[in-house]
A and B are shown apart, each in its own frame.
Chain A
Amino acid sequence: MEPGDGYFGESHEILRQTVARFVEREIKPFVDEWEEAGEFPRELYRKAANIGLLGVCYPEEWSGFQSDIFHEVVVTEELTRSGSGGLAAGLMSHGIALPPILALGSKEQKERFIPPVIRGDKIAALGITEPGGGSDVANLRTRAVRHGDHYVVSGSKTMITSGARADFVTMAVRTGEPGHRGVSLLVVETDSPGFVVSSKLKKMGWCASDTAELSLDEVRVPAENLLGQEGAGFYGIMSNFQKERLHLSLMANTTAQLALEESIKYAGVREAFGRTLKGFQVTRHKLVDMATLVEVSREFTYSVAAGIHAGKDMIKQVSMAKIFSAEICDRVCHAAVQIHGGYGYMRECLVERLYRDSRILSIGGGTSEIMKEIISKLIL
C-alpha cells in the first residue's frame, strides 16, 4: 500500500479517475440498452483490456499488471458505479474463472489460458453450480471419465455468468469417489463437440450479463486441460472464494451507495405537502440510517481487504462482510425505492434496477446461509 488517506494512495486515485471516465464514456450511455438486451458488446472486453482493467493483480508473466488489492477494489467499485451490477459481473467473470488456473495450473496452462483473457480476446467463465445444487459443491454430478489422453465429460451446469458466450469454462467435474475428494477442475473449451448452451437464462437482476445453462454430452476434453491433480478441484474452488466474496461485498456496498446518492438527490427536489422530502424528519432520518449502514459496511469491507492484502486468513471476516453488506444493500435499496415513491418502481428509475441487482448478492458466490455455516464452524 502507498501513503494516502486510509487505504488508497495516489495510484489508486488515478486509477479511480481512469475507470470512472471509462464508465462515463464507454458504459453509461449504452447501459440501459444492454440491460434490455441481456448482454453487452463483446468488444467491451477489449476496450477494458486496453486500459489494463482485466489484468489488475495478475502476474506480469501472464500479461497482467503489478498492482495491489486496493487497485482491484477501485476497479470493482467504479464498474459497479455504472449502475449495472450485471455489467460489472459479466465484464469481470474472469475474476472467478482464472484464479483456479493460477492456483493449480501448470506453466503451459497459464500461458495458454490467461493472457488471451487479460488481453480481452477470450471470455472465461467458472462452472460449478449444477441444476441439482449449488451450495453443496462436494456433491456435484457432472462426470469426467478418463479415456487415454482425454476425459469424456457429461452433465450440466447452470447459472453460469458469461456462460452463453465464454470461450472456455473452468469447470468442476467429478473424476473420482463421491464427496469433495472426487472433484477435479477441467478447462472445457466451448467449441468442443457435445458442448451446448442449452439456455440463456432470464433473470430478476444483473440483466446486462449473460447467464447460461450448459449441457455436456460426452464432450472430449484433452487430459492436459486438467488443473493440478485429479481430486484437487475442491481446493482450487475454495482458494478463490475469499476474493470472490470480497468483490461481492464491494459490489453490495457500491450498489447501496448509489441508491443512497440517488435518494439524497431525489429527496432534495421532490415536493409533497408543500416542501421537499428532505423537509420531513422521517425522510431525513431514513437517509441518515442508510448512510450509516453503507459507511460501516464499506469500512469493514476495506479492513477485510487490508487483511487479505497483508496475507492474513480472513475467511471468517470476509464471510461476515458478504452477509452484512448484502443485507444492508437490500435494506438500503428497499428504502431508496420507498423514498422514490411510485417512480422507484419504474424501469426508467435507477433505484429500481439497484433494488433488483441487490437480490443476487446474498445468493451468488455462496449464500448467506452457507456463509453462516462457515463462520459457525470457526467461532463455535
Chain B
Amino acid sequence: MKSLVCLKQVPDTETQIKVKPDGTGIATDGIKYVINPYDEFSVEEALRLKEKFKAGEVQILSVGPDRATEAIRTALAMGADKGIHINDEALNQADPFVIAKALAAAAAQVEYDIIFCGHRAIDDDFGEAGAMVAELLGLPQVTLVTKVEISEDKKSAVMERDIEGGKETVEVPLPCVVTSQKGLNEPRYASLPGIMKAKKKPIDKKSAADLGINAEPKLQARNFTMPAERQAGKRYQDMEPADAAKAVVQALRNEAKVI
C-alpha cells in the first residue's frame, strides 16, 4: 500500500500568537512549530496501512520554508519512509490554490494508492488544500474521514466520515484523496530509535521550477488583526434573583445584542 501524506508545519497550539505591528502577518520569532494535528492522523493512518498490508511505502509531502524539514523529519521518525520538501521563496505567501497546485504537481511525479491530507490546518483554517488537490488530479475525494478500510485488492475502500450528528459510510475507488478528521486514530510517538533512524531517510528538495508551476494566488491576505480583548465581566449582585435575571436579560438584549 503506497500512501502519500501531505503535511503542513504549523505553530504549536500552545503558542501565544502575536500579529506583526504592520498587520502583514503573525510575528514568527519565538514560535514553536509542530506537525498540523490533522496531518498527524494522516501519518499514523498511512503507517497502519503499510503495517496491515506488510508492504508498501509512506511518503511525506510538504510545502514550507527551511524549518519545515523538522516536521517532515518528525513524520519520518514516526516511521514514514521518505519525504519531499517543496521549499521555494515564491511559495511562502501562497494561498490554498497555489499550495494545492504545488502538492498536485509533486504528487503527479510519484506513485501512490491513496493521498492523505488533513481536513484543515489549524493555523489559517482554510480547509481547502485537500479538496483542490483531488480536483487538480482528477481523483475522487472523501472528506472528514474517521475510519479507513482498504479492500484486499487495494482497488477500493470503505470509509466512515463525520456528518452533522452522525457518521456516513461511503465506498470509493482508489486512488483517491482522503482528508483526515479527529477520531481517525491515536498517533504514535516518534520514538528515540525512530528519531535516530530518520536522520538517514531521504528528503527530496524541490523548487517551484522543478515542479513546473507558476500559479498566481487567487487570494491575497490584506490585513491581520487580533480579536478584540475581552471586556471585564459585569456583576449583578445584592439583588433579588428575579430582578437580577431581568437585568441580565435586558443587558443581553440591549447592550450585548445577542438575544
Residues of A bordering B, CB below 8 Å: 10-11, 13-15, 17-18, 21-22, 50-53, 55-56, 65-67, 71
Stretch at the interface among B133-141, B185-193, B223-231, B248-256: B185-193
- Give the distance in Å from the alpha carbon of A15 to the alpha carbon of B195 in the complex: 7
Contacts of B34 in A (CB 8 A): 17
The reply to whether B196 and A66 contact each other, CB–CB distance below 8 Å, is: yes
- How big is the B interface, by class? 10 to 19
The reply to whether B191 and A67 contact each other, CB–CB distance below 8 Å, is: no
Q: Which of A13, A22, A52 contacts B70 (CB 8 A)?
A: A13
The reply to whether A67 and B190 contact each other, CB–CB distance below 8 Å, is: no
Q: Known contacts A11-B199, A17-B34: does B70 contact A51 (CB below 8 Å)?
A: no
The reply to whether A21 and B195 contact each other, CB–CB distance below 8 Å, is: no
Q: Which of B192, B196, B199 contacts A51 (CB 8 A)?
A: B192
- Give the distance in Å from the alpha carbon of A13 to the alpha carbon of B199 in the complex: 13
- Give the distance in Å from the alpha carbon of A313 to the alpha carbon of B227 in the complex: 55
The CB with the most chain B CB atoms within 10 A, among A13, A15, A50, A56, is that of A15
- Give the distance in Å from the alpha carbon of A50 to the alpha carbon of B190 in the complex: 11
- Give the distance in Å from the alpha carbon of A10 to the alpha carbon of B191 in the complex: 14
The reply to whether A14 and B196 contact each other, CB–CB distance below 8 Å, is: no
The reply to whether B74 and A65 contact each other, CB–CB distance below 8 Å, is: no
- Chain B interface, >50% SS class: helix
Contacts of B101 in A (CB 8 A): none
The CB with the most chain A CB atoms within 10 A, among B34, B191, B192, B198, is that of B192
Chain A CB within 8 A of B73 CB: yes
- Give the distance in Å from the alpha carbon of A14 to the alpha carbon of B193 in the complex: 12
Q: Report the nearest B residue to A4, measured CB to CB.
A: B70
Chain A CB within 8 A of B6 CB: no
**B174-196, CB under 8 A of A: which get 1 and which 0?**
00000000000000011111111
Q: Known contacts A65-B196, A66-B196, A67-B196: does B73 contact A14 (CB below 8 Å)?
A: yes
- Give the distance in Å from the alpha carbon of A14 to the alpha carbon of B79 in the complex: 13
- Give the distance in Å from the alpha carbon of A65 to the alpha carbon of B191 in the complex: 10
Q: Which of B74, B193, B198 contacts A52 (CB 8 A)?
A: B193
| 12 new A-B contacts at CB < 8 Å, known A11-B196, A14-B73, A15-B190 | A10-B70, A11-B73, A11-B199, A14-B70, A14-B74, A14-B77, A17-B74, A51-B189, A56-B192, A65-B196, A66-B196, A71-B192
Q: Report the nearest B residue to A24, measured CB to CB.
A: B14
Chain A CB within 8 A of B146 CB: no
Contacts of B189 in A (CB 8 A): 18, 21-22, 51
Contacts of A13 in B (CB 8 A): 70
Chain A CB within 8 A of B87 CB: no
Chain A CB within 8 A of B69 CB: yes
Closest Cβ–Cβ distance, residue B222 to chain A (whole Å): 32
- Give the distance in Å from the alpha carbon of A10 to the alpha carbon of B83 in the complex: 15
- Give the distance in Å from the alpha carbon of A51 to the alpha carbon of B73 in the complex: 16
The CB with the most chain B CB atoms within 10 A, among A14, A15, A22, A51, is that of A14
